[in-house]
Structure 1
């Protein structure tokens, strides 16, 4: 991994807004140049469920280096740290999954220019439940203890999302509503910000709930997300090597991108309407308190940008959210795999039929 100190200046990040994921974009262009290629790629991605399938590419795709190398970790990946990061996730999985809907996604919506591509994808705006389930499944699959083993799903899931981003860019640029001033759709700065929302912001949210996260666990969890970010096509210069560099990057992106927008407010309303209407808390926390929890976790400044209602969350709601993590802190975990499976089973049951 490139450990050279990168200065996250406005000029640097402005240049990153004009850069995308060239390898994925080029692959898509080649496949979409013919109906046969488009059909083969779509069928392959639809049927792709586990890492072993990446070793059996369709004939038309066998010379595509991106797919041929999709099941390889970067040279700098530290397997021990990745295992520690996965174990950390298994320990706090219920809380971390809550953080995605209450903190990570609305944080992304507060970034005005990045929110535009999400807004103009009507599926993301009008089918919030499916968006949440897909995001949840993605996280479970890449956080699995065997995610990057032959029998795992991590590599397969990541390349599917990477190509989905390329398709979003492809179709967005062909539409009439995209403006050059917004940068490229799903650009490097936005991808880096999203990666931070799943790593740094989750750690920050846990600590705001008074969950003691050690520096070693923080580094391991963020290293695991750096590996995932790399496999998703994020530029290595945008993968922070430590907590301070991550904070510097997040703060610089926030200063540049966090601002009010119609798109951000609309996406947030769709999200809060779904979370409260679908009763994901099973009645333990009311609709009003759920939205107040979002404000508490992300802070008033960002909450105001996406037009969350003002209000102070009651301590009882915070305590209910914390229970998922606090009780686990005192549990004897016989196996990371067992803990992961138990938590994943609960997630599946919670979202069944929604």
Structure 2
């Protein structure tokens, strides 16, 4: 079965690959972009889901409640026994198991790139990866069904930023009480949303595939890897080959922790470009939900609790818009009805100074690690400002 969301070639993303950022990505490709027949092999993934996590939701959360489920998870992550359904034990054991392919050095190299990207990395995530994903009308449908618009963009952005900042900390991703716990929480949150949507009975699988399906999960993961990498380069950061290889290794591991088979994820930049091309080039046109979600994220600095002062809210609003236009380009921004702003000149200025600094970052091992520490502090400061504004507990690297 081919769902109506499979739209080849995508009217919006075709422009991206012909004259936008995708053209620059394609130039880094070794070999050719996949043809339609190759891309059609991905279609079954639109109906595949994380069945084990769904089972846990039905057998644990819906039967015993959140408080009891969370208590069992805490015990299992601490390697304590818990009298709970076998599905939950299996899920936590799967999370705690170290894959045979995992390379600790590569994992940390990828995390180092994320940390040394500092506040620039957070700008890329928000204004390129997240906003760019909203142009796909199909992947947005679960957000609409779960009431994301009513909950507000500020809450969703804070949760995503907290997750990313937490798991890229030094050796954090393999720590049962930090990275593994965070990934398990997100995996179950996805499953809870999927089960809730299906139980409601209004989801149109013939049109959209399964909610939070495996192909969309792959695309989300690629946003954190290949799109993130592209955004860093656009702002002047020069990753090393080891950092690039590590970044894909890192997100392969994270993706597997979130319930998608490890063999699904690309391990090289070329394979990642092919994978993101296959997904984007089959996306249906943007719709009213696209515009509504984009508008909510655009107005997040104005409507949210952070920043607190009105002049700061307006400044941050214009700055983010400038990055949106810088990263996404005219066609995408007009499609999502993002207001045009002269602030798009700011990222160009920032790129100039970032490029000047790169040789000093790579001057020695000491200067490289100093850059990581300095930029990591900036990330912690930003995420804690968001958390404080929502009355949430702040995070540290200790």
For the aligned pair, the TM-score class normalised by the smaller chain equals: 0.7 to 0.9
Out of 316, 328, 349, the position equivalent to 1:319 is 349
8 Å Cα contact 1:119-1:263 kept in structure 2: yes
Alignment match of 1:146 (pick from 168, 171, 175)? 171
Asked if structure 2 preserves the Cα contact closer than 8 Å seen for 1:296 and 1:313, the reply is no
Over residues 154-195 of structure 1, what are the superposed CA-to-partner deviations in whole Å (9 max), with x where a residue is unaligned?
A: 000000100000001000112243111110000011101110
1:251 CA drift (Å): 1.0
C-alpha contact 2:161 2:383 (8 A) present in aligned 1:
no
**TM-score (ref. length: structure 1):** 0.85
274, 278, 282: which one aligns with 1:256: 282
Change (3 A) 1:265 1:108: same
Q: Confirm or deny that 1:104 pairs with 2:132.
A: no
Q: CA RMSD in A?
A: 3.1
Change (3 A) 1:323 1:43: farther
The gaps in structure 2 that reach 5 residues or longer are 1-33, 362-366, 391-398
**CA 303–22 in structure 1, closer or farther in 2 if over 3 Å, else same:** same
CA separation in 1, counterparts of 2:231 and 2:279?
A: 18
Residue of structure 2 aligned with 1:128, choices 153, 176, 188? 153
2:203 maps to: 178
Asked if the contact 2:325–2:344 (Cα under 8 Å) also holds between the matched residues in 1, the reply is: no
The TM-score with structure 2 as length reference comes to 0.76
Map 1:1-354; keep pairs closer than 5 Å. Answer: 9-32=38-61, 34=63, 36=64, 40-44=68-72, 48=74, 53-56=77-80, 58-61=82-85, 64-123=89-148, 125-150=150-175, 152-180=177-205, 181-257=207-283, 259-278=285-304, 282=312, 285=315, 287-310=317-340, 313-320=343-350, 330=360, 332-334=367-369, 338-339=373-374, 342-351=377-386, 352-353=388-389
| 1:4 matched residue in structure 2 | none
* Cα separation, 2, equivalents of 1:241 and 1:30: 35
* Counterparts in 2 of 1:57 and 1:342: CA distance versus 1, 3 Å: farther
Aligned length: 344
Gaps of 5+ in 1: 1-6
**What CA deviation, in whole Å up to 9, does each residue of 1:124-161 have, x standing for no partner?**
55321111111011001211112144465000000010
Q: How many Å apart are 1:122 and its aligned residue?
A: 1.6
**Is the Cα contact below 8 Å between 1:110 and 1:306 reproduced in 2?**
yes
Contact 1:92 1:325 in 2 (8 A): no
